[in-house]
Structure 1
Amino acid sequence: MKVKLIKYTPEPERMVAMAARLCYSPIGAEELVEKMSDKQVENLVKKIVKMGHASTVEHVSFTFAIEGISRVLTHQLVRHRIASYSQQSQRYVAEHDFEYITPPSIRKNAAAAEKFDKLMRQIRQTYDELTQMDIPKEDARYVLANATETKIVATFNARSLLHFFSLRCCQRAQWEIRQMAYMMLKEVKAVAPLLFKNAGASCVATGACPEGDMTCGLFDEMIKLREE
């Protein structure tokens, strides 16, 4: 899996602070940007995060290039609707030698891994045979597995990204999308550490698990992960 932050709003924390100050200031946005010191920006962002003044963080966005993930993952990812996605097309890109993602539970079981790999080889062969019979790629793709590797570009504003982390960094999220979420979180923390300081599973921010009886029971471990 590869996750790369390829573009983001310049000086994202200053932008968030400016938007917050504008709500209570008689002067305009341009003047605020010029006048606010780094310390003022830092203090205001900390206050915004603590207060949950969420509308102000919608003014900054982050774009990720993501590779080496399965169609299973992207089916889950696009359920996060306040985001923009561009995914590698199976209608136009041939999948003759498609890579595939093997879940750890299958990979560590030799018998299961053998069955899994055998099926993937069979799917590749069937896909090739169909396209050789002049079946369009857009129809031949119907035999492809959810395990098929794909690539996607995803853009989130900071508010939707924080919500995404609260759900997908949770231990109850599926392993693949959880791994991706932590890689994305590491990327944005590097450019906006104050904004994403408390980002992660919802228990990290609130101190309580929303899963009730279905809790993972790993609250202390989740706190440690956030601090790494």
Structure 2
Amino acid sequence: MRFLDDVTVELVKHSASDRDVLWAARVSTAGEQSLAELDKDPERSKGLINFLMRDRHGSPFEHNSMTFFVSAPIFVFREFQRHRVGWSYNEESGRYRELQSAFYVPGPERKLVQQGKPGHYVFTEGTPEQHKLVTEAMEGAYRQSYAAYQEMLEAGVAREVARAVLPVGVFSTMYATCNARSLMHFLSLRTQHEQARVPSFPQREIEMVAERMEEVWAGLMPLTHAAFIANGRVAP
């Protein structure tokens, strides 16, 4: 049994740079000469990207692609797949392979106590006793459910039936492909940031995935990322 308190996000492949935004935008005024404009006046290019972001001209941010490998608890994926426009997913299947014994247990820094009501609440630190309870209860439940899963498999029960006993804290893996525009929309909803024009209240575990994706994307498209930050983290 493996009990994990973190997620994995890795960039598998990409075709994504600030230049993709520039040629897509400039075709409207330069036509077939838009590619020749790419290396002219870097400050003008920076200003164009900021203008597009500020005035929410979104389509030029779609001409790129990033594919991530993600390993996270199933409950994270169920939230993730609320994001459907501009995203493609392929997840491992409990029908076709035996699911591994990796389960999520919150780390000591994970806030445990919800105060207030949905739409107007905060999370605060848990006590040592609460953290101990969460760890012991989760690990105990995981051990019991996975033992039942294994027992059914060994008895010849189909994987698609036996998996029903496993909780949403079991880890799964997927490939997720997006473009910069769809990623910005995801980040605007799944991260908390002091510069965000519109506040968001994501569950911490999906925010962990979002933070790692943003770090990768910022390295690929630094001008676009900077414009996203400067304009209140609102997707164009």
Per the alignment, residue 56 of structure 2 pairs with: 52
The counterpart of 1:126, out of the listed 148, 155, 159, is: 148
Higher relative contact order (CA 8 A, sep 6+): 2
More strand by percentage: 2
Matched, 1:71 2:98: no
Q: TM-score, normalised by structure 2?
A: 0.77
* 1:81 is aligned to 2:84: yes
In the alignment, structure 1 residue 180 sits paired with structure 2 residue 235? no
State how far apart, in whole Å, the 2-side matches of 1:8 and 1:74 are.
Answer: 21
Query: Which amino acid in 2 is paired with 1:22?
Result: V
Q: Distance in 2 between matches of 1:160 and 1:168?
A: 12
Q: Size of the alignment, in residue pairs?
A: 199
Letter in structure 1 aligned against 2:10 = K
Deviation digits for residues 131-156 of structure 1, max 9, x if unmatched? Answer: 11111111101111100011111011
**Which structure's residues are more often helix, by fraction?**
1
Structure 1 segments unaligned to the other structure (5+ residues): 207-228
Alignment root-mean-square deviation, CA? 2.2
1:120-159, aligned counterparts within 5 Å? 120-159=142-181
Do 2:54 and 2:231's aligned partners in 1 also have CA atoms closer than 8 Å? Answer: no
2:133 corresponds in structure 1 to 111
**Matches of 1:150 and 1:50, distance apart in 2:** 37
Q: Quote the residue 1:205 is aligned against.
A: 233
Which residue is 1:221 aligned to?
A: none
CA contact (8 A) 1:63 1:153 kept: yes
Q: Secondary structure at the match of 2:13?
A: strand
Q: Distance in 2 between matches of 1:15 and 1:111?
A: 50
Q: Under a length normalisation based on structure 1, what TM-score does the superposition of the two structures give?
A: 0.80
SS, match of residue 51 in structure 2: helix
